[in-house]
Amino acid sequence: MAELIQQQIQQLVKTLNDYNYQYYVLDNPSVPDAEYDRLMRELKQLESQYPDWVQADSPSNKVGGQALKAFTQVEHKLPMLSLENAFSAEDMLAFNQRLLDRLTTVSQVAFCCEPKLDGLAVSLMYENGLLVQAATRGDGKIGEDITENVKTIRSIPLSLRGELNVDFPQVLEVRGEVFMPKQGFASLNQNQKASGQKQFANPRNAAAGSLRQLDSKITASRPLAFYAYSIGYVEDVNGLMSQSHYGRMEQLKAFGLPMNPEVRKVQGGEACDDYYETIAAKRDNLSYEIDGIVFKVDDIAQQQQLGFVAKAPRWAIARKFPAQEEITILNDVEFQVGRTGAVTPVARLEPVFVGGVTVSNATLHNADEIARLAVKIGDSVVIRRAGDVIPQIVSVVKERRPDDAKEIEYPTSCPVCDSALQQVEGEAVIRCSAGLYCQAQLKESLKHFVSRKAFNIDGLGDKLIDALVDKAMVKTPADLFTLEQFDVACMDRMGQKSAAKLIQALADGKKTTLPKFIYSLGIREVGEATALNLAQHFLTLGAIQAANEEQLLEVSDVGEVVAAHVVKFFKEPYNQEVVSALLDLGIHWPAIEKPNEADLILEGQTFVLTGTLSSMGRNDAKAILQGLGAKVSGSVSAKTDCLVAGEKAGSKLTKAQSLGVKVWTEDDMLAFFNDNNVG
Ligand SMILES: NC(=O)c1ccc[n+]([C@@H]2O[C@H](COP(=O)([O-])OP(=O)(O)OC[C@H]3O[C@@H](n4cnc5c(N)ncnc54)[C@H](O)[C@@H]3O)[C@@H](O)[C@H]2O)c1
Ligand SMILES: [Zn+2]
């Protein structure tokens, strides 16, 4: 027994030291933080139970990793420590109680609350107001000299604002986090992918890897940012620095250092919990990754009274958010066939709680992605789920690969209809060649056909469509309109009442609009906007069906790919049959009037819509603007002529303002519509 525990401790120490090396030295961790934290807690638990067996090289009371030899080493004047972690409200209560036990004279502690940025700590040494040295944390005592690299980060001032010895002290060490904003991270990874280079697992590794470059030109090309969060060593003969941590943050801001705008000072533990909840709710909308909240005792005298333990201050704690990355097992890979025949590998996972939900499936995208991950069935994989984004497999933990791990085999024929698969050159996707003869494609097409923006048929859910196709009651979209109440009522979970409702909905659905009809056909690459443009350009279905590629290219937003798909679609005899069957069954729409040239008052102008409009949906506003000849685009650029900003407009509004793009409120837009008798 004893020996077993000792072995367990040794094993944990070895594993965690390996993980530290991968994380801190190589900037390339193999397991998610949640897994590391679990193993660390296990080790600490064993060490406190069996103090005689604590190993000399235990990571439980060490900070970070070793400084890379390739850099000049910097000895920190004051150690750069880590933080104690809290994982729950109970942990926070215990922390608050520990503080109150030690600070016997106070009944409530004031805290400074700060988002815990997921980047890496750096020390910036300012002497007489000039930045003379920048260093990484390293092992807490010795870091790496990264002065030249840090100087390439635009938001870090090379000199402080204000007057020496009046505003700022003669020596001031500023500490803070260098991080990579989410958007910068996404575009960096896109570039890495395009140039065939390794992609980074997350923004933290990307930031660390970018900062610890021997060539500062590479660092300069990376989108790094910085927020200050404390001070280290100071020579301050005039006693300029505040005795409140929050006060110091305000001072640093006045000296020109970037400060996180979310930082707040609050009183007592409950206010800390409120702050935690508030930021947690905002987390997905922040432009940078955070993995928790840091709570710091605000009063510097109290901080000094509390002091430090081996690797962290007693006066601060990091409360971590639930993990967005977890580790689990890939049990199997199944292949799904989509509406356009694309065959997509779907990962079946051992269920795991991540990003606030239990995840048991993740998309694997295509064969290229499987090759990039080099994943096998049976592997331990890292799953990421952030916000509402669908879960992704980000990496494979190679050292945990079991001996019987199986290669993922791509099917050689359609897994649903057994027809041949085709791969278009230059595309990663593989498609079933059978079109609507393939039941999977038929089901997905029908789901699209009845969806909200197409025929909008209430009461025709995915399960019912699957069943109707399986029972061969529906073979084409036209068959939906020949269904009878009696047939539908016999289906699972349907009764006479819901069947009657559905038949009525189908009858009502026969009246539609031309753009919706075009959209519902599910022609590849023809979305709502393109369908609308096609309808407005050609005015009748017949004209669209008869158009050749050249004529189609005249439609705004229609390029060669779309034109080819449209022509191909209407050439297909099967599609021609379905379209005429639909028309024979009474599908109809009001005629579109040709807009007067003189009515196209917004011709050549690009509009962007953002925020919530109270008087109409964004799609309606878009249609009216397009009717006046405007292009409506999704993103603001220098080419944008006007941004319509509704309620709660966010980053697009800021961007438009910074580019000097004209901005309309919803009222401005309505007034314009009114003046021009539209809307
Ligand atoms: N996945 C892995 O293999 C692996 C390996 C080692 C460490 N880790 C992760 O790293 C953590 C330990 O790392 P650590 O020692 O750097 O501790 P930490 O990340 O838990 O906390 C300390 C660090 O927080 C950062 N920080 C961000 N905002 C801050 C703020 N406002 N104020 C103060 N500090 C702020 C600083 O960089 C500071 O050094 C572990 O809990 C684990 O999640 C993961
Ligand atoms: Zn098929």
- The ipTM is 0.97
Apex 662 CA angle, 658 and 664, nearest 5: 115
Tell the CATH topology of 597-675: Rossmann fold (3.40.50)
Answer yes or no: are the C-beta atoms of 349 and 360 closer than 8 Å. Answer: yes
pLDDT, mean of residues 330-358: 95
C-alpha 217/C-alpha 284 separation (Å) is: 31
The confidence band for 496, taking pLDDT boundaries of 50, 70 and 90, is very high
Q: What is the mean pLDDT of the chain?
A: 93
Q: Catalytic residue, from 14, 44, 116, 453: name it.
A: 116
- Does 333 score more than 70 pLDDT? yes
Residue-wise pLDDT for 347-366, tens only, equals: 999 999 998 899 999 999 99
193 among known catalytic residues = no
**How many other CB atoms are there within 10 angstroms of residue 72's CB atom?**
12
Answer yes or no: are the C-beta atoms of 549 and 564 closer than 8 Å. Answer: yes
Query: Options 3.40.50.2300, 2.40.50.140, 2.40.128.20, 3.40.720.10; which CATH number does 322-433 get?
Result: 2.40.50.140
C-alpha 618/C-alpha 142 separation (Å) is: 56
- Does 137 score more than 90 pLDDT? yes
- Does 1 score more than 80 pLDDT? no
438 C-alpha to ligand 2 centroid (Å): 4
Answer yes or no: are the C-beta atoms of 411 and 345 closer than 8 Å. Answer: no
The confidence band for 603, taking pLDDT boundaries of 50, 70 and 90, is confident
Return the higher-pLDDT residue of 387 and 264: 264
Domain 2-61 has CATH 3.40.50.300: no
Q: Looking at the chain, which residues constitute the CATH 3.40.50.10190 domain(s)?
A: 597-675
- Does 395 score more than 80 pLDDT? yes
- Does 629 score more than 70 pLDDT? yes
Answer yes or no: are the C-beta atoms of 617 and 610 closer than 8 Å. Answer: no
pLDDT, mean of residues 261-288: 95
C-alpha 505/C-alpha 393 separation (Å) is: 41
**C-alpha 93: how far from its chain's center?**
32
- Does 314 score more than 80 pLDDT? yes
**Among candidate residues 336, 346, 160, 188, the one with its CA nearest the CA of residue 253:** 160
336 C-alpha to ligand 2 centroid (Å): 10
Query: Cα dist. 208→62, 118, 154, 229 in Å?
Result: 19, 10, 17, 18
Of the ranges 178-182, 304-308, 431-435, 619-623, which one carries the lowest mean pLDDT score?
Answer: 619-623
C-alpha 335/C-alpha 411 separation (Å) is: 8
Query: Options 1.10.150.20, 1.10.390.10, 2.60.300.12, 3.40.50.150; which CATH number does 514-584 get?
Result: 1.10.150.20
Q: What is the DSSP string of 121-172?
A: EEEEEEETTEEEEEEE-TTSSEEEB-HHHHTT-TTS-SB-SS-BTTTB-SEE
Q: Is the CB of 31 under 6 A from ligand 1?
A: yes
Ligand nearest to the CA of 434: 2
Closest residue to atom 16 of ligand 1, CA basis: 82
pLDDT, mean of residues 479-504: 93
pLDDT, mean of residues 526-530: 90
**Among candidate residues 231, 213, 233, 230, the one with its CA nearest the CA of residue 222:** 213
Tell the CATH topology of 90-320: D-amino Acid Aminotransferase; Chain A, domain 1 (3.30.470)
The confidence band for 679, taking pLDDT boundaries of 50, 70 and 90, is low
Residue-wise pLDDT for 140-164, tens only, equals: 999 999 999 999 999 999 999 999 9
- Does 117 score more than 90 pLDDT? yes
Ligand 1, residues 13, 61, 177: which to mutate, most atoms within 8 A of Cβ?
A: 177
- Please tell me the predicted confidence (pLDDT) of residue 256: 97
Q: Which helix (H) or strand (E) holds 144?
A: strand 142-144
% the chain with pLDDT above 70 = 100
Residue 325 region by backbone torsions, left for phi larger than 0, else alpha for psi between -120 and 50, else beta: beta
Answer yes or no: are the C-beta atoms of 514 and 592 closer than 8 Å. Answer: yes
Residue-wise pLDDT for 40-76, tens only, equals: 999 999 999 999 999 999 999 889 888 888 999 999 9
Question: Which single residue is written with the structure tokens 């139970």?
Answer: 49
Q: Is the CB of 321 under 6 A from ligand 1?
A: no
- Please tell me the predicted confidence (pLDDT) of residue 424: 79
Q: Is the CB of 33 under 6 A from ligand 1?
A: yes
Tell the CATH topology of 435-509: DNA polymerase; domain 1 (1.10.150)
Answer yes or no: are the C-beta atoms of 445 and 417 closer than 8 Å. Answer: no
Residue-wise pLDDT for 27-42, tens only, equals: 889 999 999 999 999 9
Q: Which helix (H) or strand (E) holds 190?
A: helix 182-194
Query: Cα dist. 322→225, 260, 426 in Å?
Result: 25, 22, 40
- Does 438 score more than 90 pLDDT? yes
Q: Looking at the chain, which residues constitute the CATH 3.30.470.30 domain(s)?
A: 90-320
Q: Looking at the chain, which residues constitute the CATH 1.10.287.610 domain(s)?
A: 2-61
- Please tell me the predicted confidence (pLDDT) of residue 614: 85
